[in-house]
Amino acid sequence: MMGPWLVFASLLNGASMVVLPDVPSMSNVGALIERCGVTQMGIVPSMIRGWRNNPVTDRDWSSIKCYYSTGEASQFEDYSWLTNNGETPVIEYCGGTEIGGGYISGSLVQQQKLCFFSTPCLGVRVCLRDDFEDWVPEGEEGEGEVFLEGPSLGLSLSLINYDHEKVYFTNSPPSPFDSSITLRRHGDRLVRDAEGYYQV
């Protein structure tokens, strides 16, 4: 999923794409960033953790204007180190192949908070149901299991070797906004803080 996105996003935006055909050590990535003037960079949290434990300080990363992170949960200490205490934004992205992308993300048009998501993705309403099976009101602080309300272009319609209806919709509740819509169970747990930012 990420490979095609990288290719299409680069081509559609008239950008150059840089791919490192090697294990991403801080040394060789740093050299690539410096040589090519990389402005946006995709990262995975465990990669940053490794770099933080073996830092290389002789490379100029000042060309980077934004990082994009997905694949696993981010750690504040690692990202604070990478971004000089949050000076360079990190756009977090969470979802899954079965939804054709993400359901919660960061955005360059909003103030970002390290290791948090700032908004549901386009076409998705995120509903949180707490441990008492009550809905966490939209915009309010709380925690719960994630249920999705579409329409989102990427939501799967079938699964190979599994019953799609059973996996995502059996025993799922109706939407608290429209009882005629059965929500899609995603399985993640989200926390929404008092400022409206989310953490998985």
Cα–Cα dist 125/131, whole Å: 20
Flag whether 128 is in a domain.
Answer: yes
pLDDT tens readout for residues 83-123: 887 789 999 999 887 888 889 999 989 999 999 999 999 88
Indicate whether 138 belongs to any domain: yes
* Domain-embedded: residue 53: yes
Contact of 103 with 126, CB cutoff 8 Å: yes
Report the CATH number at residue 190. 2.30.38
**Model confidence pLDDT, tens digit, residues 170-184:** 999 999 999 999 999
Reading the chain (200 residues) residue by residue, the pLDDT tens digits are 777 878 888 899 899 998 888 877 878 888 889 999 999 999 999 989 888 887 766 788 889 999 999 988 999 999 999 888 778 999 999 988 788 888 999 998 999 999 999 999 988 999 999 999 999 998 899 999 999 998 887 888 898 999 999 999 999 999 999 999 999 999 899 999 999 999 99
From the list 133, 198, 116, 117, the residue with the least C-alpha distance to 172 is: 133
Cα–Cα distance between 44 and 173 in angstroms, integer?
A: 34
The DSSP bridge partners found for residue 94 are: 104
Total domains in the fold of the chain: 2
The domain of 54 spans 1-88
Which residues share a beta bridge with 120?
A: 104
pTM recorded for the entire structure: 0.86
